[in-house]
């Protein structure tokens, strides 16, 4: 079933065959199929919809927007983040970037810089590195088009879906670039969030270094 997702047999948002059809296809019991679907749903690959069936998860679903963005205003009011990309170039991967993305130093990656604004104020400065072979043709103009999230754009325009991500958090002082971008004094405490995002097959395709201003926001993670 995962191979069918990887190969695009069932695209984002598509309904997958019934449990009976899948059981016949793979020559297993419906109980085995049901267990596989439950596991894939738990890993956000599939979504069950009561009375409608099971569908391939998609980043275009509004419910998925805050799956990867965990920043919440102190007042608890919902605030839509507005993405403002301002840089997009294909560069040679540094040894650090290459190691994270499973590449060789010097391989091509797409380097994106953007700000996330809440209520018009810059709160996050992201530097994003993408495996260039998977994002051929990505441009700054394309990143600025529409109001889709980056992951929704990657999914719909390049067929790359982020399945899961690993993050590392630490406190750092704002350097000259981040202080200028976010509008804080040099040395201001910021939250550094380093995220590696993976597509099917546990393949790393994105490394993101985000600097978060937490003066009026906090990072929330639901455990359970």
pLDDT, one tens digit per residue, over 57-75 is 877 665 554 456 778 888 8
Q: Which of 154-158, 169-173, 191-195 has the lowest mean pLDDT?
A: 154-158
Which sequence spans correspond to the domains of the chain? 2-56, 62-219
Mean pLDDT of the region 181-197: 96
Cβ–Cβ contacts within 10 Å for residue 87, how many?
12
Q: Which of the listed CATH numbers 3.40.50.970, 3.90.226.10, 3.40.50.620, 1.10.10.10 matches domain 2-56?
A: 1.10.10.10
pLDDT at 171 > cutoff 70:
yes
Q: What is the pTM of this model?
A: 0.82
Helices assigned H by DSSP within 48-202: 65-68, 95-101, 140-144, 150-158, 176-182
Query: In a 3-state reduction of DSSP, which class is residue 6?
Result: helix
Is the pLDDT at 97 greater than 90? The verdict is yes
- Band (11; pLDDT cuts 50, 70, 90): confident
What percentage of the chain has pLDDT greater than the value 70?
94
Q: Which residue in this structure is represented by tokens 């104020």?
A: 121
pLDDT at 71: 83
Confidence of residue 91 (pLDDT cuts 50, 70, 90): very high
Count Cα neighbours of 220 within 13 Å in the Cβ-side half-sphere: 11
H and E: helices and strands count for the chain: 8, 10
Domain spanning 62-219, CATH architecture: 3-Layer(aba) Sandwich (3.40)
């Amino acid at each position: 079933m995962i191979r069918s997702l990887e190969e695009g047999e069932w695209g984002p948002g598509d309904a997958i065959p019934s449990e009976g059809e899948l059981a016949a296809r793979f020559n297993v019991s419906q109980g085995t199929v049901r267990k596989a679907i439950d596991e894939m749903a738990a890993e956000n690959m599939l979504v069950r919809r009561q009375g409608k069936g099971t569908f391939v998860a998609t980043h275009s679903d509004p419910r998925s927007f805050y799956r990867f963005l965990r920043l919440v205003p102190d007042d608890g009011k919902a605030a839509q983040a507005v993405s403002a990309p301002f840089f997009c170039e294909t560069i040679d991967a540094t040894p650090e970037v290459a190691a994270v993305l499973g590449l060789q130093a010097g391989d091509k990656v797409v380097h994106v810089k953007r700000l996330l604004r809440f209520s018009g104020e810059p709160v996050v400065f992201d530097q994003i590195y993408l495996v260039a072979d998977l994002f051929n043709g990505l441009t700054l103009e394309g990143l600025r088009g529409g109001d889709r999230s980056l992951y929704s754009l990657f999914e719909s325009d390049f067929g790359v879906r982020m399945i899961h991500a690993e993050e590392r958090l630490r406190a750092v002082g704002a350097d000259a670039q981040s202080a200028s971008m976010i509008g804080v004094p040099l040395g201001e405490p910021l939250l550094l969030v380093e995220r590696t995002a993976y597509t099917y097959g546990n393949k790393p395709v994105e490394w993101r270094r985000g600097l978060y201003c937490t003066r009026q926001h906090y990072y929330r993670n639901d455990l359970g």
